[in-house]
Homo-oligomer: A and B are copies of this chain.
């Protein structure tokens, strides 16, 4: 185990996470194990456990990287009017899922055992995604409560997520294929228009 001293703690963490992402991309969630990842980088599983408290911890860190990657892509879309931003986010989200199917799936497929608590920093990254959506929705409807914005963001995003998950599994059952962009734009437009009508009828 001469290599054990070759890497600092930080470098080893980075090395392991990169190897885990490669494994995930190439072979899927099922093969992800500390033993496999350790073998990929020439360390023992015991050494990996010195930087990750468990496989769950490692998955959380992978998920935080995936979320950061996704948020960076959303940020890169730049300043847009709120409705256009929401459409651009939806298209970007579904394209991201198609490009990184396994990383994206790990975000949803990884189940934290009930005895463990999802770390606060991971929940914060998830919160950042929704904050961005809520910001756009708040610009469209400055009068509504934070609670309604939160619920609207999650309802709208469930729809976008549904398109993403179905297109990834090729289960949109739409001949011809490739209608998902039109579906996403429609989904956002109709939802926002329906929401506006509902707000107008309340006043």
The interface of chain A, by Cβ under 8 A from chain B, is 30, 108-109, 111, 123, 126-127, 130, 150-152, 154-155, 157-163, 165-166, 169, 171-174, 179, 182-183, 186-187, 189-195, 197-198
Contact: B155 with A186, CB < 8 Å? yes
Contact: A179 with B151, CB < 8 Å? yes
Contact: A187 with B169, CB < 8 Å? no
Contact for A190 among B163, B166, B182, B198, CB less than 8 A: B198
Q: With contacts A126-B173, A151-B179, A159-B159 known, what are 15 further pairs, Cβ within 8 A?
A: A108-B165, A108-B171, A109-B169, A111-B169, A151-B183, A154-B172, A154-B179, A155-B163, A155-B187, A158-B159, A158-B166, A158-B183, A159-B162, A190-B190, A193-B193
Which residues of B are found within 8 Å of A194, using beta-carbon distances?
A: 189-194, 197
| Chain A contact residues, majority secondary structure | helix
Contact: B187 with A193, CB < 8 Å? no
Which residues of B are found within 8 Å of A171, using beta-carbon distances?
A: 108
Which residues of B are found within 8 Å of A190, using beta-carbon distances?
A: 155, 190-191, 193-195, 198
